[in-house]
Chain A
Amino acid sequence: MAKITVENLTKIFGNHPEKALTLMDQGVSKDEILMKTGQAVGIKDVSFEIEEGETFVVMGLSGSGKSTLIRCLNRLIEPTRGKIFVGDNEVTSMNDNELRLFRRNKQAMVFQQFALFPHRNILENTAYGLEIQNADSAEKNERAQKALELVGLKGWETRYPEELSGGMQQRVGLARALAVDPEILLMDEAFSALDPLIRREMQDELLDLQQKMNKTIVFITHDLDEALKIGDRVALMKDGEVVQIDPPELILTNPADEYVAKFVEDVDLAKVLTAEGVMIHPKEVAFPKDGPRIALRKMKDKGISSLFVVNRNRQLQGYVTAEDAAKAAERGEKELTGIIQTDSPRVSPDTTLNELFEVSASASIPIAVIDEEKKLLGIIIRGAILSALSKEAV
């Protein structure tokens, strides 16, 4: 079952949301509701599910309701209507006490402007979440220390936030959240205030950490590149509504509407599209036990000049060329084993197109895409990369 379930969540800012709700249900637009009632629609009828261990990115322009949405998840903002579940527990029906326990034990938040406490040193900042749970002092410090090590800030414990650079401050923000070992990490534009280089570094580190921790992450950003890089799935928001929820590639290649298409338009496709997105199924493969003649026939049938060889578990062994196969056939060999070449380029499915360009430039045969177990997932033929780019860039 889903880790986080959001059902028809609506937030209206203002003292008299009833009228605004009625209008909203009649399909009146956000701007019109604001004009008629003075109530601001923050988010409108949002529903989605987030799986355990998923990195769920919410993206949209400024004012589209991202911060409102993420703050509803831990009720820093009280939703006007709708339900939120974390596991089996309904967050929206918790009383103050239950809510406090939920905030302490299940989730932690990282803020855009870091929100470190200036009067506390780095260790005290990191330990804040544990301190308010009245954790045992030694254990508290140890866990905070561990969290700081995790984000690479060992040795900075007794410094104060103002002594640290922006990137380091946000590491502290991250450490403070990780110290309480939450199941859910809420990150509201956590990297938006950092300059591009540091930002990319932090993204990589988050991906790294996530591999080890496997938390459920809700990550807010207004940056498409960031969304596509980090997200397992991306939700696109516009005027308080979610207009599309899909994995990054689908957002790019299959925008749900004009709005998304516009958003996606000027993204650097080369950076975002991966090997997985442009690979095709191999038309044919050979097995080591196949004789050269069989291999030759397969190639002739498909009109290709080389063939990838896999074993019974579809693990890539190498390739044979038509030329070698013909010679082997003349020599009367019964197996391909002797003529398998292994110097073919291999890439993983998440290799970006930029990297593929370099690989393909020197390759005379298709690029093989393999997974961690060396299983052949697909091949990338020359030109596919360029054509993918030119097609998507239109």
Chain B
Amino acid sequence: MFNPLDLIPRIPLGDWIDWFIRWLLFHIGDFTRALAAILRSAIDAFNDGLMAVPPILLILIFSLIAWRMSNRSVALFSFVGLALIYNTQLWGASMETLAMVLLAASLSIIIGIPVGILSARKELVHRIVWPVLDLMQTMPAFVYLIPVVFFFRLGVVPAVMATVIFAMPPVIRLTGLGIQQVPKELVEASEAFGSTEWQKLVKVQMPLALPTIMAGVNQCIMLSLSMVVIAAMIGAGGLGGAVWRAIQRLDIGGGFESGLAVVVVAIVLDRITQRVRKSNSNG
């Protein structure tokens, strides 16, 4: 049957994107190299730091934090879970993963919160940023891996870059949302007393938006973890690497062990950061 749509020649959308990335690569090559070096040393520092602490001490520290932030059973779970990770010889991989998660999440938060604040205060920024966020969040996670590999080759650095992009949207979104949700009368009150924009932000808007922002931070950390695992495909190593190797060898037992380690890390991180959120919404 005749289909008028067939008359339109195929639009080379993919080629354009390729071309654009190449163009970027050519023009900002020095920049990406410098950025890669910085990220590289940051990850190493995180990793070395985590590995410098004796595992048993670190396990205790995590369990204590879990106790403080949550309750005794979560603390107990953390202790047993982390001990199990050590026992299955996945400690090193877990710390690699944790280092990447911490770095990526920190970067997402450091960039995401100011962007979120800006988008809540400037209509123009909001109108630009929000559709981009929609795009970022609906794009399959794997898609980010391709361009970052282009810029940063294989390894930990592109993994962290992709993770930052993947995990940042909820921070921006919930920061913006949190600030917009501050009751109008409170903002008016702060203005009526002659606050500067900065005073309004730090004395009224940020404290009141904090529970929402922390929800974004929690989501960001969980997304970081999932992305860091996926990023094993581009050589990120860590727990994802262990899972990846098990898949390639059809090693069901090993895959299960690594998967379990991911779950343990996920639950511990989630409970610790969720509690921050709750304690703030109560205060």
Contacts and interface: CB of A to CB of B under 8 A. Distances in A.
B35 to A, nearest CB: 38
A117 B195 CA distance: 14
A303 interface: no
B204 A132 contact: no
B6 interface: no
B194 A119 contact: no
Interface stretch (A103-111, A256-264, A287-295): A103-111
A25 B69 CA distance: 64
Contact of B192 (A105, A108, A131): A108
Nearest to B280: A119
Contact of B189 (A101, A102, A109): A109
A154 interface: no
Contact of B194 (A71, A103, A111, A113): A103
Contact of B196 (A115, A118, A132): A132
Interface residues of A, number: 27
B208 A118 contact: yes
B191 interface: yes
Question: Main SS of the interface on chain A?
Answer: mixed
A119 B283 contact: yes
Given A119-B208, A132-B199, A76 B188 contact: yes
Contacts of B194: 100-105, 129, 132-133
Interface string A159-203: 000000000000000001000100000100000000000000000
A108 B193 CA distance: 6
B204 A117 contact: yes
Contacts of A108: 192-193
Nearest to B204: A117
A128 interface: yes
A74 interface: yes
Contact of B207 (A119, A180, A186): A119
Contacts of B283: 119
Which residue, of A104, A113, A115, has the highest number of chain B Cβ atoms within 10 A? A115
Contacts of B207: 119
B193 A180 contact: yes
Interface in B177-201: 183, 185-186, 188-196, 199
B191 A111 contact: no
Interface string B166-184: 0000000000000000010
A101 B193 CA distance: 9
Interface string A263-278: 0000000000000000
A132 B192 CA distance: 11
A132 B183 CA distance: 20
B234 to A, nearest CB: 43
Interface of B: 183, 185-186, 188-196, 199, 203-204, 207-208, 283
Interface of A: 71, 74, 76, 100-105, 107-109, 111-113, 115, 117-119, 128-129, 131-133, 176, 180, 186
